[in-house]
Amino acid sequence: MSRLPKLDESSLTERQQGIYREILDSRGGRSDGPFVSWLRSPELADRAQKLGAFCLYETSLPARLSELAILITAQWWRASVEWQLHAPSRWKPA
C-alpha cells in the first residue's frame, strides 16, 4: 500500500499530465510504484521515468535477462517494491 495517495489525473498540471501519459505508454498502462511520488515533481518524474525506461527497455540484454537481473538485485537488496513490480507481471516461464 502506498503511503502517498494516488494523484487524481484531473488535478495534474499540463506538464504532469504529459509525463503521466508517457509513463502509462511506456509501461503498459501502469503508474504505480515510484511514479506516485515522482509526479509531485514534474522535472524529477520526467528524468527518472526516462532513465528507468532506458535501463529497462534499451539495454543490450534480452528482456527476460533484464528482468532476471532486476529480480536478483531486488532480492539481494530486499527491495520489495521492485520485486512486487517486476515478479508477477514479467517473469513468466518460457
Domain extents for the chain? 1-58, 60-94
CA 48 to each of CA 42, 43, 92: distance values in angstroms, whole numbers, following the listed order: 10, 9, 26
Predicted pLDDT at 29:
82
Q: How far apart are CA 38 and CA 48, in angstroms?
A: 8
Q: What is the pLDDT of residue 28?
A: 78
Chain centroid to CA 9: how far?
17
Report the alpha-carbon distance of residue 51 to residue 46 in Å, rounded: 9
- Can you give the pTM of this predicted structure? 0.71
Give residue for cell 532513465. 51
CA atoms within 13 A on the CB side of 36: 11
Summarised one tens digit per residue, pLDDT across range 27-83 is 878 777 788 899 999 999 999 989 988 988 899 999 889 889 999 999 999 998 888
For residue 94, name the pLDDT band (cuts at 50, 70, 90).
low
